[in-house]
A and B are shown apart, each in its own frame.
Chain A
Amino acid sequence: MWRKPNFPTGLIHHSKVKPLDQTHALGIDIGGTFTDIVVYDRATGRIEKGKELTTPDDPSRGVLTGLKKLLDRSIAPESLYRIVHATTLFTNALIERKGARTGLITTKGFRDVLEIGRERKYELYDIHIAMPKPLAPRDLRLEVTERIAADGTEITPLDEVEFLEQVDALVALGVEAIAIVFLHAYANPAHEDAALTAIAKKYPDLIVTASHDVAPEIREYDRTSTTVTNAYVKPLAHTYVDRLVEQTADLGIDAPYFMMLSNGGLTHIEEAKRSPVQLLESGPAAGALVAAYFGSRAGIDNVLAFDMGGTTAKLALVEDGEPHVDYHFEAAREKRFAEGSGLPLNISAIKLIEIGAGGGSIAHIDAMELLKVGPESAGSEPGPVCYGRGGKAPTVTDADLLLGFLNADYFAGGSMKIDRDAAARAMQPLAERSGLSAIDVARGIYDVVNENMASAARVHIAEQGKDPRQYTLLATGGAGPVHAYYVAKKLGVKQLFCPLAAGVASALGLLIAPARIDRVATIASRLDDMDWTRLERSFNELEADAAKVIEETGFDPATARITRLADMRYIGQGFEVVTALPEGPYDGTAAPTLLKAFEDTYRRTFSRTPPDVNAEIINIRVSLRADVPGDGVGFTTAGTDTESSQTNTTRPVRFPENDEFVETTVYDRAQLRPGETFNGPAVVEESESTLIVGPGATVRVDTDGNLIVNLPDDTQ
């Protein structure tokens, strides 16, 4: 279960943690378009929000602008006790290939591992296919004499002289960072360690990453890819983080900084600088965390977090307050949404699926005369046709407007005028080709984009061996609440949850994130042949290492929750199932318990276990989490009025269940009061989005101001 944030004052012994009179926590989320800044007052639970355009040339500039504005709003710099930060900077550097000039030194004979990859096409029929270009080009990939065997024994010692010559050569070629990857270093890191020592002696300032340090797992291509990626963004992480800290200090803020990791945990600055590859998905991770938080506060165990914006929709599963975490990730895809077209990374990251479905997704009719929606998007520029900014292609938002889901006069809180007639005109070419009316085309677009999201969710949920009917859909993002009800319906989900302040969800997530450190080591041993002393020692080493980082982050490791996991498989299989293990310590008697944990997990995922095969552990993992200090007040942006001043309006809306427009009540969300209930069909408007509720559903406003929608029972 998610624990509500409480403030374990007596347990925190780190000198940097601030006393109680400092009441403000600061969250900074730098996204692709906007930088969100949120200040949370733990005494009152109130939130102040700020939004600035992201400044890609120097992201700290946008942060500083926003920060100054907030500080001007009577928040004293010295009242801040904590700053938590997430950024897309490193992801963008990968996508735009704007990282450091990076060299690789690897085992003799294997410098092309990074370029040869898995030898598999991500598209079968595309003769012009482009595989991702390696971050270290071939002339910057050098080799050295050394060899470790698969069992970790040394075959050929490391030639340190040759190694340093290769370092010299790379330095002469102007590299800013070096990755070191030796074969089987996950089994025995001695050669990589020796290389690190040698390099530190000769080039103390050179930025270096060794594979056992960031990705100690079998499979050389994935490990090399992870290590080189880390080296590639590391110099950027160093300058950026140092600069940001320095500049905020200039504003009189001396609160400690924490960085959000892709797994939804926090860490301190030095760990972030050491292994920035772990930060790639920090923004989306924060988004999933806040979904988990709202779910837990509302007492909902299983949440399907659904965030739909202008270009993409993201889905994440949250169970018992914890988002699912995956241990592999693919970054910077050559072809958006095409699995296998990116750089594989062995990092732990909150498991998200991304679908090319957003408000700006463009509809067209394909060679099969089928109505297709996305993945091409009109984005925000030129945007949907109804924005009147030059968009010509009909989009999801245009369809939503035509169906009455959006209010032409109150779009983005009335700050933007949108043109319904232009949207209708944009449907005409599709209407003519398909023989449908413009409204039916709009209905089709709405249904198709919902099915695209539901299908992706269905496969994702099934891969985990779960049943969608046991989840509550939690909708955020500009387009999320417009589509959530009918995505829920397609999935057989019974309940929909629409939180308050969904527009700055990710930044809120930063404020409630626990400190979380994950560690991994390859063991590769059969259960019936396990050296239990060694296994326990390995777990202890990982736990000690993670605890050290937790402690450095300012938390008491003694209060941290430790989870042991193992990547297990039946002997002969090649894919492992990450299995949560019972608490340690383990000795020889633990074999049946571990086997049972694995078989339960396996059966949950695949519905059957194979006959008479033994199991083995490939990797072991530990995850340490310590909750952040907080006060459990919860977030609120609600006003102080107690009287509802709701004056409902109505407008015609075309729901999928009906064959014509029906006059539908439109609620103003700002006027809704806790405890209020009403029935669908209904439309609930707020400045950042619009919630659509289908016929037969019931809506309740909970004590925090969130909307809870129960779908009618006859829903499939």
Chain B
Amino acid sequence: MSSQSFDSATLEVLWTRLVSIVDEAAAALVRTSFSTVVRDSHDFSCVITDAEGRSLVQATDSIPSFIGTLPRTIRHFLDEYPAETLEPGDVLITNDIWMGTGHLPDISVGKPLFHNGKIVGFAGSTAHAPDIGGKIRSPEPREVFEEGFQVPIMKLIRAGEPDETFLRLLRKNVRAPDEVVGDLWAQITALDLMDARLDTFMNEYALSTLEDLAMEIQTRSERAMRAAISALPDGIYENTIRTDGLTEPLDLKVTLTIDGDEILADFDGSAAQVDKAINCAMCYTYAMTAYAVKCAAGPNLPNNDGSIRPIKAIAPEGCILNPQFPASGGSRALIGHFVPSLIFGALAKVIPEKIMAGAGSPLWCINQSGVTESGAPFAKLFFFNGGMGGTNQTDGQSCLSWPSNISTTPIEVIEQLAPLRVHRRSLRPDSGGEGEYRGGLGQEVLFESISKTPTAMAFLAERTRVGAPGIAGGEDGAKGELQINGKSVDPKQQHIVKTGDTVLLRTPGGGGYGAPIDRDPTAANRDRAEGKIGKGER
């Protein structure tokens, strides 16, 4: 029982205030960051947890994967550094793939929040670093050791004093040290801001701990999520989907059990972990599971520890959705981004109205590294998205990030930053699966390398063998394609690209919802007029 109770109005006021604190921190992080990954692609999150590391509020701008992983990372920090070993001004750091987000480029930091000499909570932030050394991001590495610079859980800042040795090691091990360290400082700016604002907040409302407030927020959220899950029909629902995999496709399987007010996703039966970097650590698998359930059951519920308590996920050790050390996971999104579609597919037969047809995800990306004309090393990362799936209300949106929320970089900025010329960026006609509501379109981007020296290119590219599934009678979306100089290439390999070589990305379309015959003829005519269907006729 909580010792202090809050009425509906008071709690709303306090909660609103906490959200404004993390949002303020997120704004500061974006504006002070150095890489396109954070500032244009928004690949980051900010959180405040209670003293036990249980999430209280998340920044509105956070991406779904980090919403799920970051509070767990804070709890790992606490396991390694129990409260009595922490002092004001400490900042902890890690990029461990099992305790972090499933791949090394995501750097997580956490700061104990002291109030009147006692730890009352933690401020946390995860951001995708522009580079982490190792082999550039591609599915090739067999073990995590090949993937770059590993940071165990350690104190980056000890009572206000940064660990200079660590920073020197980090700078030495990454290709873009200024950007990487600059982004790290941006994350610390965000932590400091949360620290200062929370202190003011607690003074203002005369709170000596966050315990009662956290309990109240988490309990109410948990209750609401349980009620939302209770509204779904009980039962056991299975689904299996096929992904491109490596040389051979890999299958993912889920058995979803809805039992009263709880939901369990069991991934037993999914492929075993592989010796390529597409393994999806359990922390990420869980985050994607929670995301899917929230979309279907309670899209308007807040993000905190309470709202995800009724959602459970299990996968056998050694499964590709729960890989074990020393598995590599740099491109874990190539498996992980299938999880929400996998879960939706299981629900398609019972609650099609609450879910979406398959999306043209995982997200695609092009990762180019080499040396500039002056000989300085560079590494650039640009993202592109496919179409979303149709729903019972609307066509899927074209080229929109899902399940993640990683935006794209403007062509003019790409050409300013990287030795690339872009010849085309257009919607892919006919790439959305037909249906009463058709899938969103993918896009086509044609690059030419104008680097004087050869550069290495690695990709995130999936659904080149199996399109995004339609539901309720809708058709599948078009498959993705990756070509270099007009020839299809293996997207899971790194490629060396010379001056004048062209690279073509065709991102997959979304699946359709409902039978195509039920489509409103006006909508079909509009699509035809706009050249979105009908083989690109104008």
B160 within 8 Å of A by Cβ? no
Residues of A within 8 A of B31 (CB): 463, 575, 577, 605-606
Does A16 count as interface, using CB distance less than 8 angstroms? Answer: no
Q: Which of A130, A218, A605 contacts B410 (CB 8 A)?
A: A218
Q: Does B151 contact A (CB under 8 A)?
A: no
Whether A109 lies near B424 (C-beta < 8 A) is yes
**A150, CB-defined interface residue at 8 Å:** yes
Q: Mark out the residues of chain A between 598 and 628 whose CB falls within 8 Å of any chain B CB in the assembled complex.
A: 605-608, 610-613
B65 CB to nearest A CB, Å: 11
Q: Does B397 contact A (CB under 8 A)?
A: yes
| Chain B residues, Cβ within 8 Å of A575 | 30-31, 33, 39
Partner of B13, one of A109, A447, A607: A447
Q: Which residues of B contact A459 (CB under 8 A)?
A: 20, 23-24, 27
Q: Which residues of A contact B220 (CB under 8 A)?
A: 368-370
For the complex formed, measure the closest distance between the CB of A602 and the CB atoms of chain B, giving whole angstroms: 9
Give the Cβ gap from A545 to chain B, nearest Cβ, in Å. 23
B317 at the interface (CB under 8 A from A): no
Task: Specify which chain B residues have a CB less than 8 angstroms from the CB of A115 in the assembled complex.
Answer: 398, 427
Residue B237 at the chain A interface, CB threshold 8 Å: no
A124 within 8 A of B: yes
> Given that A139-B531, A440-B9 are contacting pairs, would A458 and B411 also be in contact in the complex, using a CB cutoff of 8 Å?
no
In the complex, the answer to whether A112 meets B427 with C-beta atoms within 8 Å is yes
Tell whether, in the assembled complex, residue A445 and residue B9 are in contact, meaning their CB atoms are under 8 Å apart: yes
Asked if residues B413 and A124 are in contact (CB atoms below 8 Å), the reply is no
Interface residues of A in 201-256 (CB under 8 A from B): 218-222
**Residues of chain B lying within 8 A (CB to CB) of residue A612:** 178
**A73 interface residue per 8 A CB criterion:** no
Please, how many angstroms separate the alpha-carbon atoms of A129 and B426 in the complex? Answer: 21
How far apart sit A448 and B6, CA to CA, in the bound complex (Å)?
A: 14
Q: Which residue of B lies closest to A524 (CB)?
A: B416
In whole angstroms, how far apart are the Cα atoms of A138 and B426 in the complex? 11
Band of interface residues on A = 35 or more
Q: What's the least CB distance linking B254 to chain A, in Å?
A: 18
Nearest CB on A from B379, distance (A): 12
Q: How far is the CA of A479 from the CA of B101 in the complex (A)?
A: 47
Contact with A along B53-72 (1 / 0, CB 8 A): 00000000001100000000
Do the beta carbons of B531 and A138 come within 8 Å of each other? yes
Contact with B along A105-146 (1 / 0, CB 8 A): 000111111011111110111111111000001110000000
| A572 engages B8 (CB within 8 Å) | no
Minimum distance in angstroms from B286 CB to a CB of chain A: 17
- Whether the pair A220, B411 counts as a contact (CB closer than 8 A) is yes
CB neighbours of A365 from chain B (8 A): 8
Are B410 and A219 in contact, CB atoms less than 8 angstroms apart? yes
What chain B residues lie within 8 Å of A526 (beta carbons)?
none
Chain A residues whose CB sits within 8 angstroms of the CB of B300 once the complex forms: 125, 366-367
Question: What's the A-B contact tally at a CB cutoff of 8 Å?
Answer: 234
Closest beta carbon of chain A to B304's beta carbon, Å: 10
A452 within 8 Å of B by Cβ? yes
Residue numbers in B under 8 Å from A220 (CB-CB)? 410-412
Task: Report B208-226 residues with CB < 8 Å from chain A CB.
Answer: 220-221, 223-224
> B426 — which chain A residues lie within 8 A by C-beta?
109-112
Given known A126-B299, A150-B415, contact A613–B182 (CB-CB < 8 A)? yes
* Contact across chains for A370 and B11 when beta carbons are under 8 A apart: yes
Indicate if B393 sits at the interface (CB-CB under 8 A). Answer: yes
Query: Of all chain B residues, which has the CB nearest A127?
Result: B356
Q: CA of A611 to CA of B179 in the docked complex: distance in angstroms? A: 11
Contact of A130 among B36, B302, B394, B425 (CB under 8 A): B394
Cβ B182 vs Cβ A572 within 8 A: yes
Per a CB cutoff under 8 Å, which of A129, A452, A463, A572 touches B397?
Answer: A129
Chain A residues near B373: list those with CB within 8 A: none
A455 to B11 Cα, complex, angstroms: 14
Bitwise, B64-84 to A at CB < 8 A (1) or not (0) is 100000000000000000000
- Establish whether residues A120 and B42, one from each chain, have CB atoms under 8 Å apart when the complex forms: yes
Indicate if the CB atoms of B531 and A574 lie closer than 8 Å.
no
- State whether the Cβ of A573 lies closer than 8 Å to any Cβ in chain B: yes
* Distance (whole angstroms) from the CB of B175 to the closest CB of chain A: 13
- CB atoms of A368 and B302 under 8 A apart: yes
A470 at the interface (CB under 8 A from B): no
Question: Is A570 positioned at the interface, with any CB of B under 8 Å from its CB?
Answer: yes
- 1/0 per position for B4-34, CB-CB distance to A under 8 A? 0001111111011101100110011011111
- Interchain nearest-CB distance for B303 vs A (Å): 9
Instruction: Give the contacting residue for B32; candidates A121, A436, A571, A606; CB below 8 A.
Output: A606
Do residues B425 and A367 form an inter-chain contact, with CB atoms below 8 A?
A: no
CA distance A455 to B36 in the complex (A): 29
Besides A150-B416, A222-B410, A367-B224, 17 other A-B contacts (C-beta < 8 A): A108-B424, A109-B446, A119-B400, A124-B63, A155-B421, A370-B8, A436-B7, A441-B9, A444-B10, A455-B16, A459-B20, A524-B416, A573-B39, A573-B182, A574-B35, A575-B33, A610-B34
Q: Can you identify 19 A-B contacts, CB atoms within 8 angstroms?
A: A108-B424, A109-B422, A119-B399, A120-B401, A120-B407, A127-B355, A218-B412, A219-B413, A367-B298, A368-B221, A371-B12, A434-B7, A455-B19, A463-B27, A573-B39, A575-B33, A606-B28, A606-B189, A608-B189
